[in-house]
Amino acid sequence: MKTVTLGASGIECEAIGLGTWAMGGWMWGGGDDAAAVEAIRASLDAGVRLIDTAPAYGLGRSEELVGKALAGRRQDAVIATKCGLVWHTKKGTHFFDEDGQAVHRYLGRDAIAFEVEQSLQRLGTDHIDLYITHWQDATTPVAETMDALLTLKKQGKIRAIGVSNVDAPTLREYLRHGPVDAIQERYSLIDRAIESTLVPLCQQHGVAVLGYSSLALGLLAGPMDAARQFAGDDQRKDNPRFSVTNREKLNAFFADIEPVRARLQCSFAQLMIAWTTAAGKVTVALCGARTPKQAIENARAGAVVLDPAGLQHIDAAADRHLGALMG
């Protein structure tokens, strides 16, 4: 699997990373803790080092599962976690409610100092490799947030600084106050807005790009039965992208790219993950998994090599079938 470096940090990982949002259960119809732990370990065994998590994924549940999975194997992993979505204070601005808790966007110095200690405890480690501001906080100056992160770096509690869900002007403001090693943004075949906004800025400043939701919440994992139902708090239940009409368009798209998949002898999910890295816009494709089988399949996408003809075939098919879905 291709090895990459996260900005100027010197931290190396593979071009495929494991995302653990779904493992927290919230907005995904619940979760299976035992399967999640095994999925993390299976990722490590398959050569994936970057494990991405966040306190907000199940109000600490995802971080705790990562910590459990990495017990005795901390040296095998590059841990990325986040700060800025808090439920221990009402400072900042209310963002959403999770399991009865009001979660606020807040990136003040006091909250960051509190959050990092909580994350270190849940993760069972003395340092976080990449610490990312999860969502941006309009009530706190970027200078204060960045100063707090640089202090943690000096203390050895974090090794690198990242930002997520950010626009170009805000990223420029971060860069004015210190080095940013990575951004983390939504990116897939049907989510390509950052190609014209953030990617050029990151390339100019040597900032790595971590693309999350590489399979677009599962839309790009392969043909989907139009009758499939999503239950409970699963966010896909009311997502218009998962309408029957859109599923039919996606199934036509997958039929169109079948020759590419067959030639490369991979799954559709692996093909879509390979597309995200082959397109040259992201440094790491973050792929969610909740079972060892899913984790192993995602990791094997790192061995799929898409040539220019394959990329062109996929892009043309997307233009034909997925125009209404692309953003």
The CATH number of residue 185's host domain is 3.20.20.100
| Coil, strand or helix at 208 | strand
For residue 22, the model assigns a pLDDT of 87
User: How far apart are alpha carbons 25 and 299 in whole angstroms?
Assistant: 22
- Report if residue 318 sits inside a domain: no
Query: Does residue 62 surpass a pLDDT of 60?
Result: yes
- Say which amino acid occupies 8: A
Instruction: Kindly state the average pLDDT of the residues 30-51.
Output: 94
33 sits in the region (left: phi over 0; alpha: psi -120 to 50; else beta) called: alpha
| Coil, strand or helix at 171 | helix
- Report if residue 251 sits inside a domain: no
The pLDDT tens digits for 300-311 are 999 999 999 999
Query: Does residue 13 surpass a pLDDT of 70?
Result: yes
Pairing of strands 208-212, 284-288: parallel
User: How far apart are alpha carbons 215 and 268 in whole angstroms?
Assistant: 10
For residue 227, the model assigns a pLDDT of 67
Closest C-alpha to 282, from 199, 175, 220, 170: 199
Residues 134, 146: contact at Cβ < 8 Å? no
Q: What's the Cα-to-Cα distance from 29 to each of 21, 46, 56, rounded to whole Å?
A: 12, 27, 16
Domain count for the chain, please give it: 1
Percent of the chain surpassing pLDDT 90: 84
For residue 247, the model assigns a pLDDT of 87
Least confident of 109-118, 122-131, 155-164, 318-327: 318-327
b (16+ CB within 10 A) / e for 131-155: bbbbbbbeebebebbbebbeebbee
Instruction: Kindly state the average pLDDT of the residues 231-247.
Output: 74
Query: Does residue 208 surpass a pLDDT of 70?
Result: yes
- Report if residue 184 sits inside a domain: yes
- Report if residue 245 sits inside a domain: no
Torsion angle of C-alpha atoms 271, 272, 273, 276, degrees rounded to 10: 120
Q: Measured in Å, how far apart are the chain's first and last C-alpha atoms?
A: 29
Helix (H) or strand (E) holding 17: strand 16-19
For residue 175, the model assigns a pLDDT of 98
Q: What are 127's two structure tokens?
A: 């340092």
Q: Residue 31 — pLDDT band, cuts 50, 70, 90?
A: confident
Q: What angle separates helix 61-69 from helix 33-45, to the nearest 10 degrees?
A: 50
- Report if residue 226 sits inside a domain: no
Least confident of 86-95, 131-140, 231-240: 231-240
234 sits in the region (left: phi over 0; alpha: psi -120 to 50; else beta) called: beta
57 is catalytic: yes
Torsion angle of C-alpha atoms 244, 248, 254, 259, degrees rounded to 10: 160
Instruction: Kindly state the average pLDDT of the residues 251-263.
Output: 97
Question: What are the DSSP E strand ranges found in 60-212?
Answer: 78-83, 85-86, 93-98, 101-105, 128-133, 158-164, 182-186, 208-212
The pLDDT tens digits for 226-235 are 667 666 666 6
Instruction: Kindly state the average pLDDT of the residues 80-89.
Output: 98
Q: What's the Cα-to-Cα distance from 190 to each of 24, 161, 169, 288, 315, rounded to whole Å?
A: 25, 27, 24, 17, 10
Percent of the chain surpassing pLDDT 70: 94
- Report if residue 185 sits inside a domain: yes
Rank 194-198, 227-231, 244-248 by mean pLDDT and report only the highest: 194-198
Active-site option among 57, 106, 174, 187:
57
- Report if residue 129 sits inside a domain: yes
pTM of the model: 0.93
- Report if residue 270 sits inside a domain: no
Closest C-alpha to 65, from 43, 84, 89, 94: 43
For residue 46, the enclosing domain spans 3-221+281-304
Query: Does residue 59 surpass a pLDDT of 80?
Result: yes
